[in-house]
Amino acid sequence: MKNFKLKQSVLTFSAIGIAFISLSWGIFGHEHINNAAVMALPKPLQTFFYNHLDFITQESTVPDLRKYTLRDKAENPRHFMDMENFGAVDSIPLPFEDVKKKYDEKFLSSNGILPWYIQETMTKLTKAFKDKRKTEILFLAADLAHYIGDAHMPLHTSANHDGQLTNQKGIHSLWESRLPEMFGKNYNFYTGEAKYVDNVEKATWDMIKDTHSLVEPLLLVDRNLRATFTAETMYDKDEKGNIAKNKFGDLIYSKEYASKFHEALNGMVENQMRKAIVVTTNFWYTAWVNAGKPNLDDLDSKELTNRNKKNLKNDLKLWKQGKLFGLESENDFN
């Protein structure tokens, strides 16, 4: 039995957060990224994180709660970056202080600060590790993983964030929520052990640029596929026979279209989730190393750690087969 001391608030957040699962990687995506990232950590850091695996997994969607449910205005720009509106990539200042001198607050609020906020959260996590502040470590680690997850969703790096500029509205939630929910149980979540990142700033921008390079391929696949469908076959119907919409007003794509789209993407969604797992576990590990590799054993009772040893061993065996205990069955939407 893993540690549930910090779980109560998370359960409350998760219950409220059901309303926005179609607006980000969704519960499936973020939970799997965070969970697998824990399994990829080296000991002794893995032992501490595994003691709080439930919290790390479930808290993965809290940044979206702050954004959509609590309406925290400061939260919204942390989740995206409209790359096209910043001009040439090489002209964008890397340090956030320089960015704020070049672009005003209104521009940044409208066009996003995702890469800089990832680095800011890394700095905070490193300090929390150094000071051995248990609650802050767990909250910041889960938050950091969320933003890294968002940074691996191509449309989070584009002004055409929902295909609204190219008559492809609804593509965002289809790609990052519906497809993982439908097909994610067959994804391989084994990524190997975490590695130290020498240059976090460079790694962050390499990640953003790599993700952004998938925007046009993603949209092109959708455009080509749309040409082979009619409105009758592309979308679900409601009980009155009209094209169905979700609570946000988005058209609901049919299972047939979603299946064909997933196939045509040729593994893109799974690959991006795997990349997010790698970056997340690497950044967690790097923050801990940069903090001086503090001993976290005394933050948990020996009884808790000993109680989890067998479960950790069994979960690691499962993870090395590409699976995550308990998550696939809970998130099977087929």
Q: What is the pTM of this model?
A: 0.91
At 12 the pLDDT is: 41
Check residue 25 and give its pLDDT.
75
- Residue 93 resides in a domain: no
pLDDT (0 to 100) of residue 2 = 55
Q: For each of the chain's 334 residues, which pLDDT tens digit applies? A: 455 444 444 444 444 433 444 456 778 999 999 999 999 999 999 999 999 999 999 999 999 999 988 899 999 999 999 999 999 999 999 999 999 999 999 999 999 999 999 999 999 999 999 999 999 999 999 999 999 999 999 999 999 999 999 999 999 999 999 999 999 999 999 999 999 999 999 999 999 999 999 999 999 999 999 999 998 899 999 999 899 988 777 789 999 999 999 999 999 999 999 999 999 999 999 999 999 999 999 999 999 999 999 999 999 999 999 999 767 544 433 3
Judge whether 2 lies within some domain: no
| Domain membership flag for residue 189 | no
Answer yes or no: is 89 within a domain: no
Total domains present in the chain = 1
Q: What is the pLDDT of residue 11?
A: 41
Domain ranges, residue 264: 7-81+114-183+194-330
Assign 3-class secondary structure to the chain: CCCCCCHHHHHHHHHHHHHHCCCCCHHHHHHHHHHHHHHCCCCCHHHHHHHCHHHHHHHHHHHHHHHHHCCCCCCHHHHCCCHHHHCCHHHCCCCHHHHHHHCCHHHHHHHCCHHHHHHHHHHHHHHHHHHCCHHHHHHHHHHHHHHHHHCCCHHHHCCCCCCCCCCCCCHHHHHHHHHHHHHHHHCCCCCCCCCCCCCHHHHHHHHHHHHHCCHHHHHHHHHHHHCCCCHHHHECECCCCCECECCCCCECECHHHHHHHHHHCCCHHHHHHHHHHHHHHHHHHHHHHHCCCCCCHHHCCHHHHHHHHHHHHHHHHHHCCCCCCCHHHHCCCC
- Domain assignment of residue 96, yes or no: no
What CATH number corresponds to the domain at position 206? 1.10.575.10
178: in domain:
yes
Question: What pLDDT is stored for residue 20 in this prediction?
Answer: 42
Question: Is residue 47, in this structure, part of any structural domain at all?
Answer: yes
In a domain, 109, yes or no: no
